[in-house]
A and B are shown apart, each in its own frame.
Chain A
Amino acid sequence: MLYFIEQCLNGVQLGMLLFLLAAGLTLVFGIMDLVNLAHGSLYMLGAYFAATVAALTGSFVIALVVAVAASLLSGMVLEVIAIRRLYGRDHLDHVLGTFGLILFFNELVRLIWGGGGLSLSLPPEMLTAVEIVPGVYYPLYRLVIILASLAVAGLLYVVVMRTRLGMLIRAGASNREMVGALGVNIKLLYTLVFGLGAALAGFAGVMQAPILTVEIGMGENILILAFVVIIIGGIGSIRGAFLASIIVGLIDTVGRAFLPDLLNHVLSANAAVTMGPALSSMSMYILMAAVLVLRPEGLFPAASR
């Protein structure tokens, strides 16, 4: 039971990371109609920036701040130089172009930091477990990830729902042409939105670095998960991304933890050992396939276009 709670929390934590990525992705797709495969690269850059600054300054917090700022800047620069030329094109052009960017960034990282990956260690205060419920201990840092992500999610909510910028974002998501026609500086808006997405991705990259990885190609693995989240949640819907992230995070983590055992009861030991891990990896894709077939607009779609 304790194990189950722990796994659920891990699932929520994974979900939070996915949400940070998915939010940026769904914003960009919902507003600029752009399929950005290179979103994972921004996530990777965030982690690398942080690892470097942490090694220089010895402070995790400084590393986090600098990395997020650098990600924001990188995103905006990338948008101005390359991304904005893709607006309005066929999605295939987006796929092709941003795929090229993935290759470029992976190689760039190899050039600057070498192929071996980096590590980012936690400040010693974080290396403890917290008793959240009598008898249940949970790593402090993972808790921090959940809370920090929730804070960012809350901040995002405030910005999107309560500020003028957010209003423009929501308007742009439901009716792109109108917003432009209303005289808003669309170019700047798009650059900001893309930068915001990049900052979110960078933040996620930094937060996960101490417990997961800082290596080349890390972006692509999680990118697919983020796309799955968006499809399940509904493209353009941040609320959808939030809920779907938690669902996907839980399914993946709890699935991996318990499915092999469950299968043991039903199938022969051999089959369970073979199929267990495979099935749990597949579980979220199966969910995505089901959603696409039964409710293609997503489980929690954005307001009508």
Chain B
Amino acid sequence: MTTSVDPALTPSLDVAPKRRLTPRAAFTVALLLVLAFLPLYATLTGDAFVLTLFTRVIILAIGAVSLNLIMGYGGMVSFGHAAYLGIGGYAVGILAKEGIASGFIQWPVAIAASALYALAVGALSLRTRGVYFIMITLAFAQMAYYVTIGLDRYGGDDGLPIRQRSQFGGLIDLTNKTAFYYLCFVLLLVCIYLIWRIVNSRFGLVVQGARVNDRRMRAIGFPTPRYKLVCFVIAGAMCGLAGALLANHTNFISPAMMHWTRSGDLIVMVVLGGLGSLFGPLIGTATFILLQEALSRVTQYPDLFLGPLLLLVALYVHGGIQGLLEGRRE
């Protein structure tokens, strides 16, 4: 890991986990520890629900981590990212229905299909910028949504139950909740690690530079659209994996997985946790989902409070929760 550096001298983006124990770092470590020991807690207290809840948190965090790559580091606000959750999920569901239950086939297909869709969407969308980009990504997600509604064979609007989770031979039994939880957790950590390496690589620096000053980047000699497209595809592929996990988790796929409000949720999770930081998406996802859960226990109308809270976050907390922890405002 890198040595500790005075924050005044380094870019504000969190490009490497720091060894110094800042409040942000401490919070992150605490959260990771909680997640690591959660199944133990669940077993001891017999509380299966908390395990299910946090599995969902982790899976969606993978989605948020992938969105953060393009949004936080790349500056591309995609309002259609939930499409990849759906595509990944449908890959698993469709293959399962057609008799292919092997995870060794399903999951690579989920990732590849998402990557392909991201390639198509990105190639068209990245010709635009700003609000146009936001809207066109939204539109493409809606297209995918309508296509799945039209798939009568696979449930159409009602969705499709998945009778059997992805099979991995004797390696791992996904019906074992604890095993599945740890698999997801490990995959999350792997994804975060991959993101860390990517954003600090030559490729990642080009993408980040393009976010800060695209015109100059091109003047220097980088064909930035190419790099952004590859970044977009990586993010889509990673989210496709999350989709495959989600389908297994819920044993169900439906067009609702890629409704645009799901894409909105993902954006909220990323922003809440702080754009362009490694663990921010995880923090944001956990916060959002737990907040939703807590509010729904207290009141029959949780969004009455969640909604204005989001507005307040948009207005006053530019750096997200990470920013709050740092006491920093952009």
Contact = CB atoms under 8 A, between A and B. Distances in A.
B127 A274 contact: no
A288 B139 contact: yes
A273 B140 CA distance: 22
A106 B261 CA distance: 12
Contacts of B149: 277-278, 281
A231 B131 CA distance: 10
A91 B131 contact: yes
Contacts, number: 133
A29 B313 CA distance: 22
Given A86-B315, A100-B309, A107-B302, A292 B136 contact: yes
Contacts of A105: 307
Contacts of A288: 135-136, 139
Contacts of B79: 95
Contacts of B77: 91-92, 95
Given A99-B264, A292-B127, A292-B136, A224 B142 contact: yes
A35 interface: yes
A104 B260 contact: no
A103 B303 contact: yes
Contact of A292 (B128, B271, B306): B128
A276 to B, nearest CB: 8
Q: Which of A92, A93, A282, A285 has its CB near the most chain B CB atoms (within 10 A)? A: A92
A265 interface: no
Contacts of B171: none
A91 B134 contact: yes
Nearest to B71: A92
Given A93-B314, A282-B147, A101 B307 contact: yes
A289 interface: yes
Given A275-B150, A278-B147, A292-B124, A285 B140 contact: yes
B143 interface: yes
Interface in B103-128: 124-125, 127-128
A101 to B, nearest CB: 6
Contacts of B54: none
A16 interface: no
Contact of B127 (A35, A95, A293): A293
B293 interface: no
Q: Which of B79, B303, B314, B318 has its CB near the most chain A CB atoms (within 10 A)? A: B314
A103 B261 CA distance: 10
Contacts of B195: none
Nearest to A29: B131
Interface residues of A, number: 46
B85 interface: no
A289 B124 contact: yes
B116 to A, nearest CB: 17
Interface string B307-327: 111110111001000000000
Interface in B146-164: 146-147, 149-153
B223 to A, nearest CB: 18
A289 B128 CA distance: 10
A156 to B, nearest CB: 23
Given A97-B314, A224-B142, A293 B267 contact: no
A100 B146 contact: no
A92 to B, nearest CB: 5
B128 A296 contact: yes
B139 A224 contact: yes
A6 interface: no
B138 interface: yes
Contact of A104 (B134, B303, B313): B303
Contacts of A65: none
A100 B307 contact: yes
B131 A100 contact: no
B302 A96 contact: no
Interface in A49-106: 82, 85-86, 89, 91-97, 99-106
Interface string B173-206: 0000000000000000000000000000000000
A184 interface: no
Interface in A276-299: 277-278, 281-282, 285-286, 288-289, 292-293, 296
A104 B314 contact: no
A66 to B, nearest CB: 25
A85 B79 CA distance: 23
B168 interface: no
A187 interface: no
Closest 6 CB pairs of A and B: A100-B310, A104-B307, A278-B150, A97-B314, A107-B303, A103-B307
Interface of A: 29, 35, 37, 82, 85-86, 89, 91-97, 99-108, 110-111, 220, 224, 227-228, 231, 235, 273-275, 277-278, 281-282, 285-286, 288-289, 292-293, 296
Given A37-B264, A103-B307, A292-B128, 13 more contacts: A85-B315, A92-B267, A95-B134, A100-B308, A102-B261, A102-B307, A104-B304, A228-B135, A231-B135, A278-B150, A278-B151, A281-B146, A285-B142
13 contacts: A29-B131, A35-B134, A89-B314, A91-B134, A93-B315, A99-B268, A100-B310, A104-B306, A111-B301, A224-B142, A286-B143, A288-B135, A289-B136
